[in-house]
Amino acid sequence: MELNERHARTLALPDFDVEALERLRRAQILVVGAGGLGAATLPLLAAQEVGRLDIVDPDVVSITNLPRQLLYSENECGEAKAPLAAARVQALNPHGKVRAFTERIDSKWLAERGEGYDLILDCTDNFTTRVLLDDYCAAHHTPLVWGAVEEYTGQVTFLHGKRGIGLKDLFGELPKERPLAAGIYPPLVQVVGGIMAGEALSWLALGTASLDGVLCVYDAREVKMGRYEL
Mean local confidence (pLDDT), 94-98? 96
The mean of the pLDDT values for the chain is 94
Q: Point out which residues pair with 29 in neighbouring strands.
A: 53, 119
Q: Could you read off the pLDDT of 147-193 as tens digits, one per residue?
A: 999 999 999 999 999 999 999 898 877 666 655 567 999 999 999 99
Asked if pLDDT for residue 63 goes beyond 50, the answer is yes
DSSP state of 65: G
Q: Could you read off the pLDDT of 218-230 as tens digits, one per residue?
A: 999 999 999 998 7
- Residue 128, judged by CB atoms within 10 A of its CB (0-12, 13-18, 19+), counts as middle
Percent of the chain with pLDDT over 70: 95
d(CA 171, CA 15): 34
Asked if pLDDT for residue 1 goes beyond 50, the answer is no
Q: Could you read off the pLDDT of 98-157 as tens digits, one per residue?
A: 999 999 999 999 999 999 999 999 999 888 999 999 999 999 999 999 999 999 999 999
How far from 53 is each of 7, 15, 23, 48, 90, CA to CA, in Å? 19, 24, 14, 12, 9
Amino acid 127: pLDDT: 87
Amino acid 173: pLDDT: 72
